[in-house]
Amino acid sequence: MAEVWIHRDVQPHRLLLAAIFGLFASVLSAAPAWRPIPPEDLAAVPPPSEPAANGLILLREISVDSSDNQGTDFEYYLRFKVFTAAGVETLNKTEIPFARECPPRRLAARVVKPDGRSIEVAPEAVFTRDVVKAGGETISAKTFAFGALEPGDIAEYRYRISNPEIVAGMRFYLDHAFPTALVRIRIGLIAYPGYGLQSLWSRSAGFLDLSNGRTDKLLFEARGLASAINEPFPPPDDAVKPWFLFYYTTSDGTAQKYWAYTGGELQALTDAYLAPKKRVKETVAKLLADAPGEDEAIGRLYEFCRTQIKNLSYEDSGYTPDQIEKLKFNKSSTDTLTNGYGTAAQINMLFGALLRASGRSPYLAYCGDRSLSFFDFQLKTRSALPHLVVATKNGANWKFYDPGARYLAPGKLDWKNERTTALAVADKYWQMVETPSSEAAYSTVRRTAHFALAADGTLEGDVALVLEGHPGFAAKRRFGAKSASAAADLIKEDLVARLGQIEVTGAKVELPANLDVPITLSAHVRIADYAGVAGDRLLVPLAFFQKGVPETFSATTRKSNIYFPYFLREEDKITFTLPSGYEMEPPGVFTPIDSGDRIHYSGRLDLAEDGRRVVYERSFIRRLFQVPQASYPVLQHEYQRIAAQDARTLSLRRTELPAGAPATQ
């Protein structure tokens, strides 16, 4: 997966860049064919460093081409050798993540048997689906399986991604479940006064520059990359994944000079896109005709950008990827307003223009992304601050806006843009500003259930999840573009994945138009044998919402630091109506867990006055950001104590036989 950081829609000097990058030499030939497989690939075995590897990436090749001066093409070629059934299973879940406006094209895949037979993957076996990443972000991906694949076979696939932008920098992440024998990256080399190419890579990649002094193209190779570290709550990608980065810069001085220059570019961008042009002023006059107060005025402008401009970064924009490629490009905020569509960045810039036309003083800001990396001032690349947002300043206080994110309330940022660095230009001076972070109460998950329990252990009732803050934003992105039936299917899939044999009916999503109102997921469920039968007792798992959830930190050792994306609060309340003829036995005591202000856990079990209903309540608060790897045993112990209490059961003793049942002697 790659990170693109210079986009046509946020570059004020597009014509200059077009002229510059038109000088790229072509590094791609015609559409690639399958390459011959050398004997050493057929005979490949697991590397000595990972003798139990389920497979091996024999070759990962990436070629970059901007020669047509209309965008950038990327060609990907991957070849694998599989050794085990587990390796086959891994490749049969192949996913190619992509930005919606840049889908993979010319995708082809095949299996090569040891005897040389080649079996192509049929085009109809390739599907597009949504993938939920860690942290809740939903992205699109092409998925497919190598139907004829068996241990000992070679599998390979190739595809092209055509980006309509002139891409002047990119980071490639090279992690995989398999170790990698060879990575090869080819980049056309620009020759333009004042611009130079910089290349960086992670310590775990160890690339070599094999360009041999050529001035038309660059060639980098790395060998012997280890398989990916798969641990829960890992640090940002840059810290744990092998990567390669190239970018062009005009700076040959210190980091201070580089960011000063970048601040100048940001100021030029602000002047170009936030200028209060006639149509923008007219729109503001209509939206604020009744002179609302400060917060309401900003809210109206924000809501207009969020709802009245079709967001091309979302799948329900009304345009297909092919149609997006043919749309007229927005060269200004007036174009975005006139055309009624725009990318997330263009929508943000339009919001800034509306704010300025209303007499306010907004600024554009380049913001860090904690899902990728922690900001490093000494790293002289704009990839360190990839996200464009709008900022306002009141004295020393900054506020940030991101209407292009669509489901964020005014003044809020996604978790990955919180607690990081933003470059802003205020009053002609550039400065690095720390973005605010949210408290645990902001990201609250409230789960309720009302169940009736039958004497045979069957559980039936209604469940509901109310998601606020960061979990709510992730859920809104996931469900916002779905039909009612598709949303219901996703809720059912989640429950089945966790609980197995469960009947789900009436599943629905309540997605309010008001951004301050949380999203609600609900369903009616029925689970046979939920409670265990032990003689004259029923043993009922209390923590329904934790049942079936894998232990968070089960590994005895940890290779990386632990990194939680945001503070979190969970509140569960479950009511069990007891079956006739049963009563609750005295429950054990729940032990609260308080580790300072880091983790709080409590449980409570009460019997209603009528004696027929039991109410279980659970509370969990996590105020952790980074935990050093050395502290893993302490954190693991706390989570194990919580898991042990989540696993507790309610014991119900039978006090009378069901009607018609024979008495025992």
Q: What is the pLDDT of residues 89-118, one digit of tens each?
A: 999 999 998 877 788 889 999 999 999 999
For residues 148-173, average pLDDT: 89
Give the amino acid at 453. Answer: L
Kindly report the average pLDDT of the chain as a whole number: 88
For residues 343 and 441, is the Cβ–Cβ distance under 8 A? no
Q: Using CA atoms, how far apart are residues 349 and 270, in angstroms rounded to an integer?
A: 8
pLDDT at 79 over 60: yes
Q: Using CA atoms, how far apart are residues 98 and 103, in angstroms rounded to an integer?
A: 6
Q: What is the pLDDT of residues 82-97, one digit of tens each?
A: 999 999 999 999 999 8
pLDDT at 441 over 90: yes
Higher-scoring residue by pLDDT: 592, 657: 592
Coil, helix or strand at residue 261: helix
Q: Helices (DSSP H) in 223-254: which residue ranges?
A: 237-240
Beta pairing, strands 397-401 & 387-394: antiparallel
pLDDT at 312 over 50: yes
pLDDT at 28 over 60: no
| Nearest-10 Cα torsion for 277, 278, 281, 282 | -150
Please give the pLDDT value at position 219: 93
Q: Using CA atoms, how far apart are residues 380 and 198, in angstroms rounded to an integer?
A: 9
Secondary structure string (H, E, C) spanning 323-365:
HHHHCCCCCCHHHHHHHCEECHHHHHHHHHHHHHHCCCCCEEE
pLDDT at 216 over 80: no
% of the chain residues with pLDDT over 70: 90
pLDDT at 314 over 90: no
Among the residue ranges 55-59, 320-324, 472-476, 576-580, the one predicted with the least confidence is: 320-324
Contacts 24+ apart (CB under 8 A), 425-433: 425/263, 425/266, 425/267, 425/270, 425/363, 425/364, 426/363, 426/393, 428/267, 429/263, 430/259, 430/260, 430/262, 430/263, 430/264, 430/266, 430/267, 432/259, 432/377, 433/365, 433/391, 433/398
Q: Is residue 7 very low, low, confident or very high in pLDDT (cuts 50, 70, 90)?
A: very low
Q: What is the DSSP letter of 253?
A: S
Q: Using CA atoms, how far apart are residues 175 and 212, in angstroms rounded to an integer?
A: 27
For residues 174 and 242, is the Cβ–Cβ distance under 8 A? yes
For residues 7-14, average pLDDT: 31
How far apart are the two ends of the chain, measured CA to CA in Å? Answer: 69
Q: Is residue 329 very low, low, confident or very high in pLDDT (cuts 50, 70, 90)?
A: confident
pLDDT at 508 over 70: yes
Please give the pLDDT value at position 22: 30
Q: Residue 2 CB: number of other CB atoms within 10 A? A: 22
Please give the pLDDT value at position 68: 62
Q: Using CA atoms, how far apart are residues 194 and 276, in angstroms rounded to an integer?
A: 33
Contacts 24+ apart (CB under 8 A), 13-20: 13/268, 14/166, 14/331, 17/166, 17/168, 18/69, 18/166, 20/190, 20/192, 20/195
Higher-scoring residue by pLDDT: 21, 121: 121
Structure tokens at 192: 């333009």
In order of their start, the domains of the chain are: 2-248 (2.60.40.3140), 255-434 (3.10.620.30), 459-528 (no CATH), 533-665 (2.60.120.1130)
For residues 611-631, average pLDDT: 95
Q: What is the pLDDT of residues 476-491, one digit of tens each?
A: 999 998 999 999 999 9
pLDDT at 512 over 70: yes
Among the residue ranges 212-216, 281-285, 340-344, 364-368, the one predicted with the least confidence is: 212-216
Instruction: Extract the runs of DSSP E, i.e. beta strands, from 91-242.
Output: 94-98, 104-112, 118-120, 127-132, 138-144, 154-163, 169-173, 180-188, 196-201, 208-209, 217-225
pLDDT at 409 over 90: yes
Please give the pLDDT value at position 350: 97
Please give the pLDDT value at position 179: 97
Q: Is residue 662 very low, low, confident or very high in pLDDT (cuts 50, 70, 90)?
A: low
Nearest to 183 by CA among 193, 197, 195, 173: 173
Q: Is residue 217 very low, low, confident or very high in pLDDT (cuts 50, 70, 90)?
A: confident
Phi-psi region of 20 (alpha: psi -120 to 50; beta: other; left: phi over 0): alpha
For residues 124-146, average pLDDT: 77
Q: Using CA atoms, how far apart are residues 172 and 187, in angstroms rounded to an integer?
A: 12
Q: Using CA atoms, how far apart are residues 122 and 106, in angstroms rounded to an integer?
A: 13
pLDDT at 539 over 50: yes
Please give the pLDDT value at position 39: 93
For residues 146 and 111, is the Cβ–Cβ distance under 8 A? yes
Range among 62-71, 158-167, 528-537 with highest mean pLDDT value: 528-537
pLDDT at 379 over 90: no
Q: Using CA atoms, how far apart are residues 236 and 565, in angstroms rounded to an integer?
A: 9
Q: Helices (DSSP H) in 97-200: which residue ranges?
A: none
Q: Using CA atoms, how far apart are residues 209 and 195, in angstroms rounded to an integer?
A: 19
Please give the pLDDT value at position 5: 36
For residues 58-80, average pLDDT: 87
Q: Match 């014991």 to its residue by tokens.
A: 651
Structure tokens at 315: 């799948």
For residues 357-365, average pLDDT: 94
Please give the pLDDT value at position 586: 87
Please give the pLDDT value at position 32: 57
Instruction: Indicate whether this model's pTM tops 0.95.
Output: no
pLDDT at 467 over 80: yes
Q: Using CA atoms, how far apart are residues 179 and 366, in angstroms rounded to an integer?
A: 35
For residues 220 and 185, is the Cβ–Cβ distance under 8 A? yes
% of the chain residues with pLDDT over 90: 71
Q: Which helix (H) or strand (E) holds 65?
A: strand 55-65
Give the amino acid at 471. Answer: P
Q: What are phi and psi of 572, to 5 degrees?
A: -115, 140
Q: Using CA atoms, how far apart are residues 145 and 92, in angstroms rounded to an integer?
A: 4
Please give the pLDDT value at position 395: 87
